[in-house]
Structure 1
Amino acid sequence: MKKNLTLFMAFFCGIALLQAQNSIKGKVLNQAKQPIDFAELHLLKETDDQLVQQGFTSETGEFNLTNIPTAQYTLTINYLGQQLYTQNITLDRDLDLGEIITESSTALEEIVLQAEKKLVERKADRLVFNTSASIASQGMDAIEALKNTPMVKVQNDKISLVGKSSVTIMINDKIVHLQAEALTNYLKTLRSDDIEKIEVITNPPSKYEASGNSGLINIVLKQNKSLGLYGSVSSSYSYNNYNAISGNGSLNYQNKKWNLMLKANGNDGRYGNVNSYTYTNKDRILDAYGDPTGNYNSAGLNLTTNYQLSSNSLVGVTYDLSKYKNSTSNNNESKYIALPTYTLDSVINSLTKVNNNNLYQTLNTFYDYNIDSLGSKLSLGMNYFTNAPEGSTNMDERNSPSNQTRSTYFTNDLNYKVWSGTADLSYKLPWVDVEFGGKYTNYDNRSKVFYYNRFEDQLTYDTTRSNRFNYKEDNYAGYLSLNKQLNDKWNVKGGVRFEQTEVEGHLLETNEKFTKSYNKWFPSVFVAYNPNEKHAFSFNYSKRINRPYSSILNPFRYYANTYSYNSGNPELDPSFTDNFELNYLFNSALSVSFNYYHISNSFDQYSTLVDDVFVSTYYNMLNSDNYGITASYSEKITGWWQTSTGTDLIYGKSYYRNSKANQIPQNGVYFSYYSQNTFTLNQAKTLNVFLNWYHQVPHKEDNSKYAKYQALSTGLKANLLDRKLNLNLSVYDIFNTGKSSGTSYFQDNIQSFSNTWNSRSLSIGATYTFGDSSNKKSIKEATFSDKSRSSK
C-alpha cells in the first residue's frame, strides 16, 4: 500500500510541476461581433516558426492556451483555410487578449463531410478493423463480429489471436475480468451495430495493463457525436438448424454541453452440437460422446451520459446491465474398453441438465481535462464490474452392465466483483511527449459449489464434494512512457510499467489458505522510420504477463460425472511473454510483419486416467519459441471493390519443463490465409455484396495436431430511404466446413477430440435510424473530439 501511495503522490506532484507556466486566453468574433466557433489557433515560436500549440475556439468563440513557456510567439487564427488574424506576442505572464475582431465575417452555413473509412488500418502498435465499415459484421453479436476480424480466431466460442493464446479482451480500453464461458456469454450481449472498431494490439505500450500473453483485443463502442435527438432500432433473425432472433434500439440526445445515450437489446435462440473424445493408453480406451443442446436468452440496458464542464473538461458516467440465461441438456455416453482384447468393460450413460443465470453490471466514471490543445490531457477514472450468477445442474447416471444408477444435484455460483481506479497524464513538452499514470485493481471472487445426492426425490448434502472458495487479488501498477519525434523520418517511444500483485485464496470447508506476492517490470520499446509517404518501418518490443484466474486456482473438484472431474491448482504461477515485431507498411495498404515471441512458465491443462477416473488439472509446464510472418493487403482495388487479404505463417517449438508433464512436443508450422471483399453494385453506393474466405490448414501446436478449418461466407447489404433503413442478408460458412478436431500426444497416452455442429447459418437483419442528427456544429464537434482524443 505504501508503494501505491508513493506512486500516486509522485504522479500528482508531477502534474503540478508541469502546469506551472503561462497562458493566453481571448474571444474570437467576426466583424458583426458574433462568435466564431471552432476557429483554429496556431501558436508559433517567433524565432523559427516552430508550432508550440494548436487549439480551437469553443461555441462562444472563447479559447484558452495553457502551460506555455516564457518566450516570443506569433499567434494566428485560421478559419476554413483562411487566415483571419495574426499577432506577435512577448509572453512572460498570463495574458488576456480580450475580444479579437477578425478581418473576415465569413460564416459557415452548413458543411456535409463524408469520409469513407478503410476496412482495415495498420498502426504502429495495432491493427484496426473498422467494424462499422464492414458489411459482413452488421446485425450480429460481438462474438460473431470477432470472427470477421483479421488476426482473430474464434473456434467453439474460444477467442485467440492467430498462432497465439491467452488474449485479453477490453471494452473501450477497460479490461473485462471474465474468462471462458462467462466471457463468451457477456460478449453475446453486445451488438455489432454498437461497435465502432475492433483493435488488435499485439504489442501493447506501457500505458496498457501487462496482462494477456499474446496481446489485447480492444472493442471500441460507438460514441454519440451529433447534436439533437435521434436513434435507431434493429432486429435480426438467424438459422443454423436452430432459430435465433435479436432486437436492439438506441436513443441519443445531445446539446452543446450535455449528451445522453440509452441502449437496450434482447436475444433469444437455441443451439446444439456433437462432441466426441477418445483417450487411449496401453491398457484401456475411454470413448466419450455427447450431444449438448439448449436455449438461451439475454437482455441488456446501457445508459451513458457526459457533461462538458468547460471547454477543457468533460465528466461522464456509463452504467451497463446485462442478463444472460441458458439451459443445456446433454446426453453423454462413456465407453471403457480393455486392451489388447478390445473388451467392453462398462458403459456410463448420463443425462445432464444445466441452468445458468448471469447478471452482469458495469459502472464506469471518468473525468478528462484537456491541459492544452496539442493533446495534453489528464484522465481520472473509477470502474466497477460485478457478476451475480446462479447455476444448477441435475445429473442422472446409469452404469451397465452392473445397472448401477446415481442421481446428483449441485449448484455452482461464481460471484465476481472488480474495482479499479486510474489516473493518466499525457503531456507534450517542447522536447518530448510524456505519458505516466497509475492504476489500482481489486479483484474479488467468492465461489460456491454445493453437491447433493438424490435418492427417491430426497436430497442429501455431500460434504466430500461441496466447496466454498474465496479468492482476492490486488494489483498496483504505475507506468512511464516517453515519445520523441527525432525528425520528420524517425520516431522513438519507450516506456516501463511496474505491477505488484497480492493474492489470497481460502478454502472454507477445509480452512486451507494460500497467499502469493510477486512483482515485475514490463518494458516496451517502439522505433518508427518513415523515409517517405509510401514506405514505413517500425520495430517494437514488450514484455507481458498471464496470471492464472480464480477458477483454475481453486483446488476443489468439479464433476462432469462420477468418473470424470477437473480441478484447479493453487500453486500456479504467472507466465511471461517477450514479444518482438518488425513491421513494414507500403502505401498504407500492404503490411508485412516479422515477429518472434518467447513464452516462459506457461500453465496448461493436463488430463489423464487414474483408476478409471478421468482427471484434469493445471500445471506450470510449458516454454515455447514462436517465429512468424504476417502479411496483409487492405485497399480499394477499384471504385467498386475493396479487399482485405492476408496470410499468417508461424513456426512453433515447445519445451515441457514440469516433472509431471509427459507431453510429446509437436513442433511445426501454422499457416492460414483469408480474404474479405466488399463489392459496390451501384453508383450511389447503397447496394453492396461481401464475399469472405478463411482457411487454416492442418497444423501443429504445443503437443497437438489440429485438422483444417475453413469457411466461405457471403451476403448483401442495402441502404434505403435516404440511408435511414439498412437491410442485411448473409450466409456464414456456405459449405458447412467450419469444424474443429485434433489429437494430443503424451508419453503414455493419446487423446483425440472433435466438435461438430452446423456452422452454416443464414442471417437476416434490418436497422432503421430516426431523428435529425445533421448539424453544422455536430460535424465540427466530432472533428474536434477526434483531435482531442488522438493521444489515446
Structure 2
Amino acid sequence: MNIMKKRVTMKKKMHFTIFLCLFLVGFTAYGQLEVKGKVIDQETQKPIDFAEVILTNTKTQKIIGAITTIEGNFLLKAAAGDYKFQVIFLGNSLYAKDISLTKNMDLGTISVTNSEELDAVTVEAKKKVIERKIDRVVFNVENSTQASQGDVYELLKVAPGLRVQNNSIGMIGKAQVSVMINDKILQLTNDELANFLKSIASEDVQSIEVITTPPAKYEASGNSGLVNIILKKAKKDSWNAQLRSYYRQQRYANSSFGGNFNYNKNKFSVAASANYRQGDYYQEQDDSAFFPDGLWQTISPFRSKTDGLNARIDVNYQISSKWSMGAQYLYNRTDYNVTDAPFTPIFDYNTGEITRSLLSEGRMDLTPEVHSLNYNNEIELDTLGRNISINLDYFTYGNPDTKTYNGVSTVLEPFSEQFYRGVNINDQAIQNFSAKVDVQVPTKWANVDFGGKFTKSTSDNDIFFFNSGLVDAPVTNLPISQNDFEYDEDIQALYASASKDFGKKWSLKVGLRLEATQTNSSSNNLGLNVDNDYTKLFPTLYLSYNATENSNFSLNYSKRIQRPGFFSLNPNIYFLNPFQSIEGNAFLQPSFVDNIQISHSYKSFTTNLFYTIENETFAQVPLPQSDTNVIRFTNENYVDTQRFGIYENFYFDKYSWWSSNNNFVVNYTISKFDLEQAEEDQKGFNATFSTYNDFTLNSDKTLFFGLNYWYAFPGVNGIFDTKTASALSLSFQYLLLNKDMNITLRANDIFKTSADRTETVINNVLQTARYYYDARYLQLSVSYKFGNKDISAKRHRTGNQDERGRIQN
C-alpha cells in the first residue's frame, strides 16, 4: 500500500517537474522598438564616435546601451515604456532627455558640447527619504539623517511600518517579519538576529524595503511581510572595512566584537562579516493558574550564559558583461547554558496562606548551529532587459538539546514531601535543498516575471526522556526511554506576474503563484504515519494611482499560507515538571491568510487601511486540567481571526537638526476558537503609538541625541488579553576622526515598563503571565571604519529563505 502511494506521489512530482521545465523555457521573443539617431559636436559639426548612448527604464532602472559608430550613428532596441536617454563621452554626460517609447523613434541629429552639459540635460532629483513603490515602501537611508547614526538594528526602529521590541522585529498590525540582507534571508533567533544587525553600520545601508504584501515571486509562506536591507558595496577597484564592539550592562554584563570587509577588484568582489558575542542573559517569568483548589503561582526566572559566533561571506565574479556568478556562505552557532530554580507556592483562596509548594532546579544546554550555502547565476539575455537568475541552496541545522530538572513537592499541613526528576534530550537535524529559477521579460504590453522553485526538506529527531512523576524518595535511578520523529516535506512552485503603467497616473501589477506540497510525519515508537498532500493558488494584486506628484493611492491584495514549523509538528512530550509538559502536533494543518490594504500617502504622511482574514491559525496554547492541576502546552489549529485596522505614519525631517518618525496603529480583532471546551469569541481593540527622534547638536554634524518612546495599549491577541507596555530610550552619539569613529551611549527601557503581560481563561481556569526580557540596559559601543568610502549598491536574492525561517531555533 505504501509502495503504491509512493509511486503515485513520484508520478505527480514527475508530471509537475516536466510542467515546470516546459513553463520556464516556453517563452518566446517579443517585439522590439528602435531608437536611432546621430551624435555630432556642436562646435565642429563633426560626428562623435565611441560615445555611449544609453536608455534607462524609469521604472525598472534597467539599462540598454550602445556605442556610436565612426559616423556618429547609433541604434538601440527596447520594449515599449518610459526611458531616460543619455549621451555620455569620456565619463561626462553631454545630453539627456526623457522619452516615452510607443513606436520606432528617430531622434535625428543630436548636437552636443564636450566642455559642458546643455540646458536639455535632465538633472536627476535626489530620492525622497520615504519612497512608495507599487508593492513596497522604500526607506532611502542614505538620504536621511540616520545615515551615520548607529547600526542597522536602530535603523529598523525608524523604518516606516515596523515595530522593534524585545529583540523582536515585526510589522505594525501584523506578526513578525522575515529579514533579508541584499535579498538573502537571515534565519536566526530573535536575539541572534538583533545582534547580527547591530554589527552592521548604518553608513553601509543604502535603503530598507518594507514589503507588506510580498508579490508572487516570493514564497507564499508567512502571514506577515518581508524586510529587505540593501547594503552598499565597495566601489570598483577599492575596499573598505569596519571594526565594531560594544559593552552592555543589563542585569549581567554582555559584550560583542566584530567587523565587516568589502572588496571589489576588476571582475571579482567579496563581502564578509563576522561577529562574536558573549555574556549572561536574564529573563523574568511569572505565571499564575487559578485552579479550583488554589492559586498556583510560579516564579521561574532563568539565567543563560551565552557564547555566539555568526559569519557571512559573499563572493561574486563577473564572467562577462551579461553574466555574473556568485556564492554565499552563512554560519551561525550559539552555545546556551541555562540555569533556573522555579518556585511554585500554592495559595488557599480563603486564608491567602501557602498550603503547598514546588521547588525545582533546572538546567538546559543547547547548541543550535546553522550552515547555509547558496550558489547563484544572473544572466542578461539581451539588451531589452530580459534576464534569468538561478539559485541553488543547501542548508543544515543541528541542535543537540538537553533539559534536566530535579525538585521537591512540599505539603505544609500535615507536613509531607515528595520528589520528582526528569531528563529530556532531543537531537534534531534538519536538511534542506532548493532550486529556484526567476525570469524577467519586458514586453510591449507589460513587464512579465515568471519562475519556479523546488524544495525538499527533512527533519530527524532522536528523543531520549525520563519523567519520574511524584515519588516518595529522592530519584537516583533514571531509566531512559527513546522516541523518534521524522518529517519530510516537498514543495513545487510556479509563479507568474505582470506589471504595467497606464500613462503617468495608473500602475497595475497582478500575480499568481501555485504551490504543491507533499508531507509525511512518522514515528516508529508512536506508531505514527501521517501523509498530507495539497495544491493551492495564491493570487496577488497591486493597483496604484498617482493623483499628484505628492499624493498616491494604492490597493493591495494577497493570499498567504502559514506552514507549521518543524518543532511544532513533533508529537513527543517533554516535561518541565510533573505538572507542566510541552508537545507538538503531527496533525497540524497549514493556515491561510487573506490580506487587503488600501493606502494613501501625501508627502511624508501615510495612511493604511487594512483587513485580514486568518483561517485555522495554529499556535501553542496552554490547556489546563482542573482535576489534576496539569497544564499541557500543545499546538492546535484553534482560532479563526478577522482584523480591521488603520495605520498612520508621519516622517518629519523639515529641519536639518531634527528628524522624527511617528506611528500610530489601531485595529479591531474578532477571534473564534475551536478548543476541547467551547470558549467565547474574543473581540477587542489593539493600539500602539511610537515616536523615534534624532537631533543634530552641532553644525559639524558630529554630535547627536536620540529620544525614542513607544506605548502599547491594552488589547487582545488570539485567546489572550494583553496589558499595557511601553519603553523610553535615550542615546548620545559622537563622530570623530573625520567621522570614521563612532562612539554611542544608549539607555534602553529606562523605567523597565516593556514587560509582556497577558491573561486568558481556558477550560474555566484563569491564567496570567508576566515576562520581562531584560530590556533595560546601558550600552557603550565603538566602531571605526577605514578604506575607500565611495560605495555603490549591489544586491542578490537566495532561493531558500522561507525554509530556513521554519527551523524555529
TM beyond 0.5: yes
Contact 2:199/2:275, CA 8 A, preserved across alignment: no
Deviations 1:227-261 (A, max 9, x none): 31321111111112221111111222212311122
Tell me the SS of whatever aligns to 1:11.
Answer: helix
Tell me the SS of whatever aligns to 2:500.
Answer: strand
1:96 corresponds in structure 2 to: none
* Cα distance in structure 2, aligned partners of 1:307 and 1:533: 40
Using the TM superposition, give the Cα deviation of residue 752 of structure 1 relative to its aligned residue in structure 2, in angstroms.
Answer: 0.4
Change (3 A) 1:248 1:192: closer
Deviations 1:67-112 (A, max 9, x none): 7589xx9997345441399xxxxx99xxxxxxx999766699xxxx
Change (3 A) 1:514 1:203: same
* Cα distance in structure 1, aligned partners of 2:141 and 2:319: 32
1:55 corresponds in structure 2 to: 64
1:363 to 2:363 alignment: no
1:244 corresponds in structure 2 to: 254
* Cα distance in structure 2, aligned partners of 1:787 and 1:514: 38
Deviations 1:483-511 (A, max 9, x none): 01111111111110001111111113234
Matching residue's letter, 1:42:
L
* Cα distance in structure 1, aligned partners of 2:395 and 2:584: 24
Of 435, 445, 448, 1:434 maps to 448
The residue correspondences of 1:570-719 to structure 2 (distance < 5 A) are 570-587=586-603, 589-610=604-625, 611-656=628-673, 658=674, 660=676, 662-719=678-735
Deviations 1:371-422 (A, max 9, x none): 3556432111111222222222231111113322333333223222222111
* Cα distance in structure 1, aligned partners of 2:88 and 2:764: 76
1:520 to 2:529 alignment: no
* Cα distance in structure 1, aligned partners of 2:726 and 2:689: 10
Matching residue's letter, 1:607:
P
Deviations 1:124-156 (A, max 9, x none): 3333456776759966685x7655554334555
Contact 1:152/1:162, CA 8 A, preserved across alignment: yes
Tell me the SS of whatever aligns to 2:358.
Answer: strand
Contact 1:226/1:773, CA 8 A, preserved across alignment: no
The residue correspondences of 1:371-410 to structure 2 (distance < 5 A) are 371-372=381-382, 375-401=385-411, 402-410=416-424
The residue correspondences of 1:186-197 to structure 2 (distance < 5 A) are 188-193=195-200, 196=205, 197=207
Change (3 A) 1:562 1:380: same
Matching residue's letter, 1:435:
D
1:489 to 2:502 alignment: no
| Structure 1, 444-453 or 430-439: larger mean CA deviation | 444-453
2:585 corresponds in structure 1 to: 569
Contact 1:240/1:759, CA 8 A, preserved across alignment: yes
Contact 1:637/1:643, CA 8 A, preserved across alignment: no
Matching residue's letter, 2:620:
Q
Change (3 A) 1:51 1:436: closer
* Cα distance in structure 1, aligned partners of 2:440 and 2:151: 36
Change (3 A) 1:322 1:156: same
Contact 1:667/1:701, CA 8 A, preserved across alignment: no
Change (3 A) 1:572 1:473: same
Matching residue's letter, 2:665:
D
Cα RMSD (Å):
4.1
* Cα distance in structure 1, aligned partners of 2:550 and 2:170: 32
Tell me the SS of whatever aligns to 1:298.
Answer: strand
Tell me the SS of whatever aligns to 1:6.
Answer: helix
Contact 1:139/1:766, CA 8 A, preserved across alignment: no
Contact 2:616/2:638, CA 8 A, preserved across alignment: yes
Contact 1:731/1:762, CA 8 A, preserved across alignment: yes
Matching residue's letter, 2:29:
L
Contact 1:323/1:358, CA 8 A, preserved across alignment: yes
* Cα distance in structure 1, aligned partners of 2:130 and 2:467: 55
Deviations 1:41-88 (A, max 9, x none): 1399xxxxx999842479xx9x99997589xx9997345441399xxx
Contact 1:664/1:747, CA 8 A, preserved across alignment: no
Deviations 1:242-283 (A, max 9, x none): 211111112222123111223221111211122111112434
* Cα distance in structure 1, aligned partners of 2:354 and 2:494: 60
Tell me the SS of whatever aligns to 2:17.
Answer: helix
Change (3 A) 1:586 1:52: closer
Using the TM superposition, give the Cα deviation of residue 315 of structure 1 relative to its aligned residue in structure 2, in angstroms.
Answer: 0.9
Contact 2:167/2:190, CA 8 A, preserved across alignment: no
Change (3 A) 1:35 1:417: farther
**TM-score, length basis structure 1:** 0.85
Contact 2:84/2:96, CA 8 A, preserved across alignment: no
Change (3 A) 1:139 1:677: closer
Using the TM superposition, give the Cα deviation of residue 320 of structure 1 relative to its aligned residue in structure 2, in angstroms.
Answer: 1.6
* Cα distance in structure 2, aligned partners of 1:160 and 1:51: 28
Of 449, 456, 462, 2:480 maps to 462
Of 18, 24, 28, 2:29 maps to 18
Matching residue's letter, 2:639:
L
Using the TM superposition, give the Cα deviation of residue 321 of structure 1 relative to its aligned residue in structure 2, in angstroms.
Answer: 1.7
Change (3 A) 1:564 1:131: farther
* Cα distance in structure 2, aligned partners of 1:158 and 1:261: 26
Change (3 A) 1:400 1:677: same
* Cα distance in structure 2, aligned partners of 1:389 and 1:749: 35
2:753 corresponds in structure 1 to: 737
Change (3 A) 1:273 1:482: same
Change (3 A) 1:590 1:744: same
1:446 corresponds in structure 2 to: 460
* Cα distance in structure 2, aligned partners of 1:29 and 1:354: 77
| Runs of at least 5 residues in structure 2 that lack an aligned partner in the other structure | 1-12, 98-102, 118-122, 799-809
Matching residue's letter, 2:647:
T
Change (3 A) 1:397 1:6: same
Contact 1:522/1:542, CA 8 A, preserved across alignment: yes
Of 558, 580, 583, 1:542 maps to 558
Matching residue's letter, 1:18:
A
Of 507, 513, 516, 2:523 maps to 507
Using the TM superposition, give the Cα deviation of residue 121 of structure 1 relative to its aligned residue in structure 2, in angstroms.
Answer: 4.3
2:329 corresponds in structure 1 to: 319
Change (3 A) 1:609 1:43: closer
Identity %: 27
Deviations 1:680-725 (A, max 9, x none): 2223322222211111111223332211111121212222222221
2:162 corresponds in structure 1 to: 152
* Cα distance in structure 2, aligned partners of 1:387 and 1:106: 60
Using the TM superposition, give the Cα deviation of residue 549 of structure 1 relative to its aligned residue in structure 2, in angstroms.
Answer: 1.4
Change (3 A) 1:122 1:227: same
Change (3 A) 1:445 1:120: farther
Contact 1:694/1:711, CA 8 A, preserved across alignment: yes
2:183 corresponds in structure 1 to: 173
The residue correspondences of 1:221-240 to structure 2 (distance < 5 A) are 221-240=231-250
* Cα distance in structure 2, aligned partners of 1:690 and 1:35: 55
Change (3 A) 1:149 1:396: farther
The residue correspondences of 1:120-159 to structure 2 (distance < 5 A) are 120-129=130-139, 135=146, 146=156, 149-159=159-169
Contact 2:65/2:76, CA 8 A, preserved across alignment: no
Using the TM superposition, give the Cα deviation of residue 598 of structure 1 relative to its aligned residue in structure 2, in angstroms.
Answer: 0.8
Tell me the SS of whatever aligns to 1:211.
Answer: coil
Using the TM superposition, give the Cα deviation of residue 186 of structure 1 relative to its aligned residue in structure 2, in angstroms.
Answer: 5.2
Tell me the SS of whatever aligns to 2:18.
Answer: helix
| Runs of at least 5 residues in structure 1 that lack an aligned partner in the other structure | 45-49, 86-90, 93-99
* Cα distance in structure 2, aligned partners of 1:446 and 1:137: 45
**TM-score, length basis structure 2:** 0.83
Matching residue's letter, 1:83:
Y
| Structure 1, 561-570 or 167-176: larger mean CA deviation | 167-176
